């Protein structure tokens, strides 16, 4: 990265960490954060499983094994965040139902595009990024940066949750578990990149995706400002849980 990108990386990460930490600590905004993570973690499972099958078919059994564990972890992470939502008597909103309602109401819009990922994968089409088509170096490099940063973000968020509140403490322990897994994912992806490329080429790939991450983060910040700080509602009321279940 050049000096300007490094500075933007530091500022952007600091701003992102502040917003995430504030929103996860506030019990009013916490469910929306948890829902976003549940959707992201659970949503990645089919993609990772297809990549696992592709790696196996191509004879890369080492990578297939790592991807299988990765998919299993992400499935568990989705369950962790879903359980955390239930502790707050919430669940992820039914986007299919919202889309159906929007079809009959011209004043409603269901915008599921992510300014972050649009910027992060700028220049790549949806077809390019499908599991059966994506270049392995593109997948490994882009996912390495995301997993590495996620491990730090989850650690920071967990640290701001109060220990004295039982529900918050349970959520904290779950997030810390996720952070440990993300670190392991980043480690195997780093190794996978170096299995395919020389040290110099691997470093260049990492630098490219780090730069893309910085640009994507600022695209997300710009979108946040345009919305006047308003974020999409990702949750709806769920069935109340009894105390014994909520504290498990």
Minimum mean pLDDT among 89-103, 171-185, 210-224: which range?
89-103
pLDDT at 116 over 50: yes
For the chain, give the mean pLDDT.
85
pLDDT above 90 covers what percent of the chain? 62
> Quick one: average pLDDT of 181-194?
98
Q: Please report, for the chain, the start and end positions of each structural domain, with discontinuous segments joined by +.
A: 3-246
pLDDT at 2 over 90: no
Contact assessment for residue 206 and residue 138, using Cβ atoms and an 8 Å cutoff: no
> Quick one: average pLDDT of 195-203?
98
Contact assessment for residue 175 and residue 38, using Cβ atoms and an 8 Å cutoff: no
Q: What is the pLDDT of residue 120?
A: 95
**pLDDT (tens digit, 9 = 90+) per residue, 33-77?**
999 999 999 999 999 999 999 999 999 999 999 999 999 999 999
Assign domain 3-246 to its CATH superfamily: Heme oxygenase-like (1.20.910.10)
């Amino acid at each position: 990265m050049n000096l300007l990108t490094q500075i933007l990386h530091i500022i952007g990460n600091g701003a992102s960490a502040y917003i995430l930490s504030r929103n996860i600590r506030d019990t009013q905004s916490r469910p929306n954060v948890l829902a976003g993570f549940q959707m992201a973690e659970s949503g990645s499972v089919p993609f990772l499983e297809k990549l696992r099958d592709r790696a196996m078919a191509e004879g890369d059994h080492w990578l297939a094994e790592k991807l299988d564990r990765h998919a299993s972890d992400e499935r568990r992470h989705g369950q962790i965040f879903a359980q955390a939502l239930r502790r707050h008597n919430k669940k992820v909103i039914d986007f299919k139902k919202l889309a159906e309602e929007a079809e009959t109401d011209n004043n409603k819009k269901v915008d599921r595009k992510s300014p972050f990922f649009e910027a992060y994968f700028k220049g790549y089409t949806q077809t390019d990024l499908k599991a059966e088509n994506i270049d392995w170096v593109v997948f490994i490099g882009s996912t390495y940066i995301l997993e590495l940063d996620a491990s730090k973000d989850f650690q920071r968020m967990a640290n701001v949750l109060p220990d004295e509140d039982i529900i918050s403490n349970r959520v904290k322990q779950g997030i810390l578990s996720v952070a440990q897994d993300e670190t392991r994912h980043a480690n195997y992806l780093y190794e996978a990149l170096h299995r395919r490329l020389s040290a110099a080429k691997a470093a260049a790939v990492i630098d490219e995706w780090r730069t893309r991450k910085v640009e994507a983060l600022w695209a997300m910040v710009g979108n946040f400002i345009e919305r006047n700080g308003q974020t999409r509602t990702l949750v709806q009321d769920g069935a109340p849980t009894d105390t014994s279940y909520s504290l498990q």
